[in-house]
Chains A and B, each alone.
Chain A
Amino acid sequence: MKTIVIGVIGADVHAVGNKIIEYTLKHAGYNVVNVGVLSSQEDFINAAIETNADMILVSSLYGHGEIDCRGMREKCIEAGIGDIILYVGGNIVVGKQDFKEVEQRFLKMGFNRVYPPGTPIEKALDDIAHDLGE
C-alpha cells in the first residue's frame, strides 16, 4: 500500500478540505498520514521520513502558499527524501493571477503537480495513481 502524507501548510487553519482529502484517499486505497492544519514543512517531511511515504500532498487555502512552500524541495533533499513526489493545491496565491504562471512558479520550486483553486480531490486521483506507478 502506498503512503501519502497530507496536511495544510503554514498558519492556515482550514480543516474541512483536509478531512475530505483524507477520506477520499483512504477510500481510494492509500495509507494516509494526516499531519493536520497549521503544519510546517518540517512536520510534513518528518512524517514522510518515519512513514516511508511515497508522496506529500500539501494544501494551502489562505493565499500564503507561495511563501510557505518555498524551499520545501531543498529541505526534502537535505532530509534524504529528495525523490519524493510533491503535490500542492488550493488557493495557493493571493489575488487573481494567471494560473499558468502560478503553476510554473511552483513547478520551478520542485513540486511535481500544482492544482488551481476549486479542484476536487477526485480529479487528482488519476494523476496520483499514475505518478505512484499504479
Chain B
Amino acid sequence: MRYYLLIDFGSTYTKLTAVDKEKGDIIATASSFTTVATDITVGYRKALAKLYQKIGKEIEFDRKIACSSAAGGLKMAAIGLVEELTVEAAKRVCLGAGAKVDLVFSHYCTAKELRAIIDKKIDIVLLAGGTDGGNSDCVLHNAKVLGEIGVKIPVIYAGNKSCQDEIEEIFRKYQIDGYICENVMPRLNVLNPHSAKEKIKEIFLKRIILAKGIKKIETEIDKVVQPTPDAVLQASELLSKGYLDEPGLGEIVLLDIGGATTDVYSMSPPNTTKSNVIVKGLEEPFAKRTVEGDLGMRYSAMGILSVLSKEEQERINRTFGIDIAKECEYHHEHVEDLPKTEKEDEIEKILAGVCADKAMERHCGKMEEVYTPLGMMYYQTGKDLSEIKYIIGTGAVVINSADPGYILSKMTNHEFNRMELRPLHPEYLIDQDYILAAMGLLSQEDPLLALQIMKKRMRKI
C-alpha cells in the first residue's frame, strides 16, 4: 500500500485527501460541493479532478475509503428511563457513535411524543431503560408504543437485559426492524457503550447510507466505513494516546464549529485532579463527544443569539461596536456567504467565540460546593478538563480566521469561574489542512502513519 485516498462526504463539501506512505505525508487535498441529492458520484468526480490537477498527474490509489455526514448525517432518537441515568447513557452512546441526537425521551412515553420520531425523519432509535435486573415496565411500554405508532426505522434495544425476550416479541408482533444489544447502563452509573455503538455503526453502513443514496459511491471507491464524527473521534483518540513507540499529545480537547452544529471532543481520563472532591453521576468516558445542535455559524446562527442573555449581548455590542442580533440574522439568512472584508471576518470570529464558549460550558464538568461537618467539600459532575494540554481547532471558521486564538481561548476558564472545570493553561493547535476526519479513516489502515501526519500537520499558534 502506497497511495491512500481518504474521502469525507460532508453536508456541504466533499473533501478528498491523498496520502503517500513513502513520503509519510499528505500530497494534496481538494474539495467540491456534495451532490448527494442528485448523484453523489458527480461531486466526488469533480473533487477528484481537482485533486489530480494539484498533484500534477493521475495516480492509482491502492485504497479508497470514505466517511460521511451527508444528507443530514446520522439522526438518532434516544429513549431512556431517568434523565440523569439511562437517558444520559443512551444519549452518550449515540454521540459516541458519531450520530446527532435530535430527540430525547424519558420515562413512560406517549404515542403523541414518539410520533416526532416519524415527523422528524429520524434514522435510528436507541431504546434503553433499567439496569440489568432492574425496571422493565417502562421499556416494555415504550417499545409497545413504538410498535403502535408504526415506526419503520431500525430500533436498537439496549436496556435491561432481563426483558430482552419480551422486547423481541414486541418487535416481532409489530414487525419492527429491531436489534438487541447489551445494556448501555448494566449497573447504576456504569456506562457500557461498546455493543450498542457497534450496532449503530453497523446499521449506518448497511441501511442508512443506502437509504440516503450514499452507498452508490461504492461503485467508484472501496467502501464507506463510518460516520464522519466517528472518524474525527478516532483521530482525536489516536492523537492523544499515541501508537506503539510514537507518543501522542496527551490530554486534548477538539473544537469543530460547523454551519449547523458545534462539536466538542475531549480526550482525558475522567478522574478528578482535586482534593475534597466527590465525583457524582454517570461514569465518564476517556473519549467524550458532545454536539450542540443550536450553535452553528449559519443554519444555527439564531441559536447563538438565544443562548446569550440580554446583558451578554449588550456587552458584545459595546466591546466590538456591532449589533449581534442583526449579525446572527444575517448569517442565518445567507448560509452560502463567506466573509470577504476584515469586518466580516471579525464578526465571524465573535460568533464563533460564543459557540466555543457555550459548547464548552455544556461539555465540561462542574463543581458544586457543599458544607459538611468536615469542612468544605465539592461535588463534581462531568469531566475535569483543567489540566488539558492542547485545544485543537477545526472547521472552516476556525481554520480561516485571522485570529483563531481568540476563538479557542473562549474554551478556557476565561471568566475565572472556578466551579467550571474548563482547561486552565492549554496551548492552541489548528487543523490547518482540515484533515482530522481523513486521518481517522487512515488510522484504521495505518495508525502510525496517521499519527505522524497529524503531529506534523497541526499548526501551533
Interface residue ranges, A against B (CB under 8 Å) = 1, 3, 11-13, 31, 33, 35-38, 42-43, 46-47, 49-53, 62, 80
CB contact under 8 A between A3 and B135, given known A46-B84, A51-B188:
no
Number of A-B contacts (CB under 8 A): 63
Question: Which residues on the A side are within 8 Å of B377 (C-beta)?
Answer: 11, 13, 38
Asked if B372 and A50 make an inter-chain contact with CB atoms under 8 angstroms apart, the answer reads no
A52–B372 alpha-carbon span in the complex (Å): 31
Question: Which residues on the A side are within 8 Å of B278 (C-beta)?
Answer: 13, 36-38
Does B416 reach chain A (CB closer than 8 Å)? Answer: no
Nearest residue in B to A36 (C-beta to C-beta)? B278
Give, as a whole number of angstroms, the nearest-CB distance from A81 to chain B. Answer: 9
CB contact under 8 A between A62 and B372, given known A46-B85, A50-B130:
yes
Question: Which residues on the B side are within 8 Å of A51 (C-beta)?
Answer: 130-131, 133-135, 188
CB contact under 8 A between A49 and B135, given known A33-B188, A37-B278, A38-B377:
yes
Does B59 reach chain A (CB closer than 8 Å)? Answer: no
Does B82 reach chain A (CB closer than 8 Å)? Answer: yes
Nearest residue in B to A53 (C-beta to C-beta)? B134
Question: Which residues on the A side are within 8 Å of B84 (C-beta)?
Answer: 42, 46
Q: Which has the most chain A C-beta neighbours within 10 Å: B187, B370, B372, B374?
A: B372
A–B pairs, 21, beta carbons within 8 Å? A1-B133, A3-B134, A11-B377, A12-B372, A13-B278, A13-B374, A13-B377, A33-B131, A33-B188, A37-B278, A38-B278, A38-B370, A46-B82, A47-B188, A50-B86, A50-B130, A50-B134, A50-B188, A51-B135, A62-B373, A80-B107
CB-contacts of B346-395 with A (<8 A): 370-374, 377, 379
Does B136 reach chain A (CB closer than 8 Å)? Answer: yes
CB contact under 8 A between A11 and B370, given known A1-B133, A38-B278, A50-B86:
yes
What 0/1 pattern do residues 125 to 140 of B give for CB contact below 8 A with A?
A: 0000111011110000
Give, as a whole number of angstroms, the nearest-CB distance from B279 to chain A. Answer: 10
Does B185 reach chain A (CB closer than 8 Å)? Answer: yes
A31–B133 alpha-carbon span in the complex (Å): 10
Q: Which has the most chain A C-beta neighbours within 10 Å: B130, B131, B136, B278?
A: B131
Known: A11-B371, A37-B278. 18 other contacts (CB 8 A): A11-B370, A11-B377, A13-B374, A31-B133, A33-B188, A35-B188, A38-B280, A43-B280, A46-B85, A47-B85, A47-B188, A49-B82, A50-B82, A50-B86, A50-B135, A51-B131, A51-B133, A51-B135
Asked if B82 and A52 make an inter-chain contact with CB atoms under 8 angstroms apart, the answer reads no
Nearest residue in B to A80 (C-beta to C-beta)? B107
Question: Which residues on the A side are within 8 Å of B373 (C-beta)?
Answer: 11-12, 62
Does B205 reach chain A (CB closer than 8 Å)? Answer: no
| Interface residue count on the B side (C-beta < 8 Å) | 25
Question: Which residues on the B side are within 8 Å of A11 (C-beta)?
Answer: 370-373, 377
Interface residue ranges, B against A (CB under 8 Å) = 81-82, 84-86, 107, 129-131, 133-136, 185, 187-188, 278, 280, 370-374, 377, 379
A43–B84 alpha-carbon span in the complex (Å): 9
Nearest residue in A to B136 (C-beta to C-beta)? A52
Give, as a whole number of angstroms, the nearest-CB distance from B449 to chain A. Answer: 44
CB contact under 8 A between A52 and B370, given known A46-B84, A47-B188:
no
Q: Is the interface of A mostly helix, strand, loop or mixed?
A: loop
A47–B377 alpha-carbon span in the complex (Å): 23
Nearest residue in A to B108 (C-beta to C-beta)? A80
Asked if B81 and A50 make an inter-chain contact with CB atoms under 8 angstroms apart, the answer reads yes
A46–B135 alpha-carbon span in the complex (Å): 11
Question: Which residues on the B side are within 8 Å of A33 (C-beta)?
Answer: 131, 187-188
Question: Which residues on the A side are within 8 Å of B86 (C-beta)?
Answer: 50
Give, as a whole number of angstroms, the nearest-CB distance from B110 to chain A. Answer: 15
A95–B72 alpha-carbon span in the complex (Å): 63
List of 7 A-B pairs having minimum Cβ-Cβ separation, nearest first: A51-B134, A52-B135, A11-B372, A52-B134, A46-B82, A11-B370, A51-B131
Give, as a whole number of angstroms, the nearest-CB distance from B224 to chain A. Answer: 37
A71–B426 alpha-carbon span in the complex (Å): 45
Question: Which residues on the A side are within 8 Å of B136 (C-beta)?
Answer: 52
Question: Which residues on the A side are within 8 Å of B185 (C-beta)?
Answer: 50
Asked if B374 and A52 make an inter-chain contact with CB atoms under 8 angstroms apart, the answer reads no
Asked if B188 and A49 make an inter-chain contact with CB atoms under 8 angstroms apart, the answer reads no
A13–B188 alpha-carbon span in the complex (Å): 20
A13–B374 alpha-carbon span in the complex (Å): 8
Question: Which residues on the A side are within 8 Å of B82 (C-beta)?
Answer: 46, 49-50
A53–B134 alpha-carbon span in the complex (Å): 7
Nearest residue in A to B138 (C-beta to C-beta)? A49
Asked if B81 and A49 make an inter-chain contact with CB atoms under 8 angstroms apart, the answer reads yes
Nearest residue in B to A43 (C-beta to C-beta)? B280
A33–B134 alpha-carbon span in the complex (Å): 11
A1–B131 alpha-carbon span in the complex (Å): 14
A52–B81 alpha-carbon span in the complex (Å): 11
A11–B82 alpha-carbon span in the complex (Å): 23
Question: Which residues on the B side are within 8 Å of A43 (C-beta)?
Answer: 280
A92–B197 alpha-carbon span in the complex (Å): 45
Question: Which residues on the A side are within 8 Å of B187 (C-beta)?
Answer: 33
Question: Which residues on the A side are within 8 Å of B374 (C-beta)?
Answer: 13
Give, as a whole number of angstroms, the nearest-CB distance from A1 to chain B. Answer: 7
Give, as a whole number of angstroms, the nearest-CB distance from A132 to chain B. Answer: 15
Q: Which has the most chain B C-beta neighbours within 10 Å: A12, A33, A35, A49?
A: A49
Give, as a whole number of angstroms, the nearest-CB distance from B169 to chain A. Answer: 20
Question: Which residues on the A side are within 8 Å of B133 (C-beta)?
Answer: 1, 3, 31, 51-52
Question: Which residues on the B side are within 8 Å of A35 (C-beta)?
Answer: 188
